[in-house]
A and B are shown apart, each in its own frame.
Chain A
């Protein structure tokens, strides 16, 4: 007896819808077992994780605040991954974007006008795009692997931020502590909805997702991205430039990550500090895949992942599990989703070994 996969002719529509639910179901079952083994009431635990964060308005806002950078970055990453450009450095582009966008309120803090905020956002996007152009250039011109370069540049960006915040941009009135001045009111990203904290970063995220959906479905560029991702050669025959796409994909992704960075800094933190991201750039990679590189899927995936973060915190307080358990839970969820996604593309059959050998080469 052996498991065998037969590729479906097309994607199974049924499983496209069912698979996330199956995955969720499996995760819930695993969760019940896990929590029971830890001696906690499993249903209380699952309630804390998935339901509690949705029960209060302030928590829904926090959900949006947490999901916004994840969605925004993941949208950019999906362009990269679809076109076979493995940008692992979104975290670094986030940071550099945040720094670039903060030049105005920190260095030119005396200039206060309604123009400041839009300019900050533009600077943020430009900063992120330029930083992403480095691995792009190295890949396109020098054939250097972009996974390594983009990843190394993350560490460089983090150290650069640390230096800048402790040195040249340190708040002169801050007792020599490592942080910049607080942004003046013209530099703060305003709230989107009156009832709470959600800032416009969330709006940008939704907008970006919508734009990407449009680009991928309705424009030639979207087609170009998909083709080049499948086969660079085929793309070249069609007249597309794969080198151009490297730059395009990286810089768009960098711009979006940079926008996420400056939105986070001006909307949620309102100054620069040594730590401005709890790893958004890396979590966004997961969001991109959970969302199957599809913009609408990414929005959902971002919200769900944010939910598990909030749920994990709620569970820490209400049931007393540790944060390691919440991370374990997230890992399990991811695993099940990935496993169940197989059902969309392949049909699983159990085959008698005797029969199979007649049919030629086996795996």
Chain B
């Protein structure tokens, strides 16, 4: 495996959790709900995945466990914001705090244990393609899920009726409700999907990226994922681009350091964030595109009128 392949692989591993979490949140936000609790759901997924993997001896079970944990945790958010109509921003933040604390507590028994790693699965034939085969078709299952999810979410949102209804809710929940679309139910499903994705993203951290459990191991990735949704103007393909861009700059700056370039490392560390802002500004210059894609009901509470 040559250096280019190695670098691309490293970037992909770095980008996968961001991509997954962002995709989930994208669907949630397209339905008009702003869930800032992504970090909390991710860390719950991470601890659950690690714990399940340790207890069952199967990393795959861990991945599923992480997904479920994220999903269940997101239900807390759902009940509060969808049924009890609490403020979404505050509830999302509360979810993050709760998640960080709860995961820390749950994970105490698992500190210092080397974890099980989810092994790469080579897709027969495809993985023999020169250069690309090694990169694209010889990866861990969660990576495959993330790519399939991009395609799946795009197809769902833009090619199915259900997706159309979801987007309608996001644009104007009052009208959608008047048309007979089940707003609250759809939003619940969206929130749970977002939770499952975030949970799986967290699972990736603790059973693929660095197979161990450490407090706060998400290290702000949930927030980056949130930013990526906005960066992508709520379009799945753009989320892929954004996650990989961020991953590439993050890894690239480490390479620049290893090269001994003499640029202050803090500046290099800041590059991914600056690059994200820069690209976003460029994208935003196309006003129409941005306005069309922003879900107009984002963050607003919905209560069916009597």
* Residues B284 and A362 in contact, CB atoms below 8 Å apart: no
Q: How far is the CB of A139 from chain B (nearest CB, A)?
A: 9
**Interface contact A339-B80, CB-CB below 8 Å:** yes
A352 to B: closest C-beta gap in Å: 15
Whether A338 lies near B90 (C-beta < 8 A) is: yes
- Tell me the chain B residues, 71-105 only, with Cβ under 8 Å from chain A: 76, 80, 83-87, 89-91, 93-95, 97-102, 104-105
Q: Contact check, B90 vs A334: say whether CB atoms are below 8 A apart.
A: yes
- In the complex formed, the residue of B with least CB distance to A163 is B266
Would you call A362 and B304 a contact (CB within 8 A)? yes
Tell me how far the C-beta of A353 lies from the nearest C-beta in chain B, rounded to whole angstroms: 14
Question: Does chain A have a CB within 8 A of B128?
Answer: no
Tally of contact residues, B, Cβ under 8 A = 55
Which chain A residue lies CB-closest to B228? Answer: A148
**B164 adjacent to chain A (CB < 8 Å):** no
A40 → chain B closest CB, angstroms? 13
B264 is an interface residue with CB less than 8 A from chain A: yes
Give the Cβ gap from B293 to chain A, nearest Cβ, in Å.
11
Whether the Cβ atoms of A3 and B178 lie closer than 8 Å is no
Check B183–A160 contact: CB distance below 8 A.
no
Asked whether A183 is an interface residue with its Cβ less than 8 Å from the other chain, the reply is no
A86 to B303: give the CA distance in the assembly, Å.
23
A275 in contact (CB, < 8 A): no
With a cutoff of 8 Å between Cβ atoms, the chain A residues found around residue B223 in the complex are 151
Report chain B residues within 8 Å CB of A3. 83
Alpha-carbon distance A149/B283, docked complex (angstroms): 13
Whether a CB of chain B sits under 8 angstroms from the CB of A112 is: no
| Chain B nearest CB, measured from A172 CB (Å) | 19
Contact check, B93 vs A322: say whether CB atoms are below 8 A apart: no
B294 → chain A closest CB, angstroms: 8
Q: Which residues of B contact A145 (CB under 8 A)?
A: 230, 280, 284
B140 within 8 A of A: no
Complex interface: chain A residues within 8 A of B177 (CB)? 361, 363
Which parts of A135-182 form the interface with B (CB within 8 Å)? 138, 142-145, 147-149, 151-153, 155-156, 159-160, 162-163, 166-167
Return the CB mask of A1-29 against B: 1 if under 8 Å, else 0: 00101110000000000000000000000
A283 to B48, CA, bound (A): 26
Contact A286 B90 (CB under 8 A): yes
Would A149 and B303 be within 8 Å (CB), given that A335-B98, A338-B91 are in contact?
no
Assess whether B102 is in contact with A331, with CB atoms less than 8 Å apart: yes
Chain B neighbourhood of A138, CB < 8 A = 277, 281, 284
For A157, give the chain B residue with the smallest CB separation.
Answer: B270
- By size class, the interface of chain A is 35 or more
Let me know if A342 and B277 touch, CB within 8 A.
Answer: no
Whether B149 is near chain A, meaning CB under 8 Å from some CB there, is no
Q: Give the interface centre of A148, A155, A163 by most chain B CB atoms within 10 Å.
A: A148
Most buried by B among A153, A285, A361: A361
Which chain B residues (107-128) contact chain A, with CB distance < 8 Å? 108
Beyond A159-B270, A327-B101, whether A147 also contacts B226 by CB under 8 A is yes
Contact of B183 with A363 in the complex, beta carbons under 8 Å: yes
- The answer, yes or no, to whether B267 is at the interface (CB within 8 Å) is yes
- Contact check, B90 vs A290: say whether CB atoms are below 8 A apart: yes
Do A152 and B277 touch (CB < 8 A)?
yes
**Contact present for A155 and B273 (CB under 8 Å):** yes
Q: Mark B198-226, 1 if CB is under 8 A from A, else 0.
A: 00000000000000000100000001001
Name which residue of chain B comes closest to A343, CB basis: B84
CA distance A325 to B215 in the complex (A): 13
Indicate whether B276 reaches chain A with its CB closer than 8 angstroms. yes
Query: Within the assembled complex, what's the spacing in Å between the Cα atoms of A285 and B97?
Result: 12
Q: By the criterion CB–CB under 8 Å, are A342 and B270 in contact?
A: no
Residue B269 at the chain A interface, CB threshold 8 Å: yes
Which residues of chain B are within 8 angstroms of A142 by Cβ–Cβ distance?
281, 284-285
Asked if B276 contacts A148 (CB within 8 A), the reply is yes
Within the assembled complex, what's the spacing in Å between the Cα atoms of A346 and B98?
A: 25
Which of chain A's residues have a CB closer than 8 A to the CB of B269? 159
Instruction: Verify A346–B85 contact, CB threshold 8 A.
Output: yes
Cα-based distance from A332 to B97 in the complex (angstroms)? 9
| One of A81, A147, A330, A339 near B97 (C-beta < 8 A) | A330
Whether B58 sits at the interface, judged by CB under 8 Å, is no
A286 contacts B97, CB within 8 Å? yes
Neighbouring B residues of A144 by C-beta, 8 Å: 277, 280-281, 284
- Within the complex, which residue of B93, B101, B230, B306 is in contact with A286, where a contact is CB–CB below 8 Å? B93
Q: Does residue B10 face the partner (Cβ distance < 8 Å to A)?
A: no
Rounded to whole Å, the gap between the CB of B212 and the closest CB of chain A is: 17
Check B182 for interface membership: any CB of A closer than 8 A.
yes
24 intermolecular pairs with C-beta atoms under 8 Å apart = A5-B83, A5-B84, A138-B277, A143-B290, A144-B277, A144-B280, A144-B281, A148-B226, A148-B277, A149-B277, A149-B280, A151-B223, A152-B274, A156-B273, A159-B269, A163-B264, A282-B93, A285-B90, A289-B90, A327-B104, A332-B98, A335-B91, A345-B85, A363-B185
> Which 9 pairs across A and B sit closest by C-beta, in order of nearness?
A331-B98, A327-B101, A324-B104, A328-B101, A289-B90, A363-B184, A334-B94, A163-B266, A331-B97
Q: Given A334-B94, A363-B302, output 16 extra A-B contacts at Cβ < 8 Å.
A: A7-B303, A142-B284, A147-B227, A148-B276, A160-B270, A162-B266, A163-B266, A286-B90, A324-B102, A330-B97, A330-B101, A331-B94, A331-B98, A331-B100, A334-B97, A338-B94
Q: Could you tell me which A residues sit within 8 Å of B by CB distance?
A: 3, 5-7, 81, 86, 138, 142-145, 147-149, 151-153, 155-156, 159-160, 162-163, 166-167, 282, 285-286, 289-290, 322, 324-332, 334-335, 338-339, 341-342, 345-346, 359-363
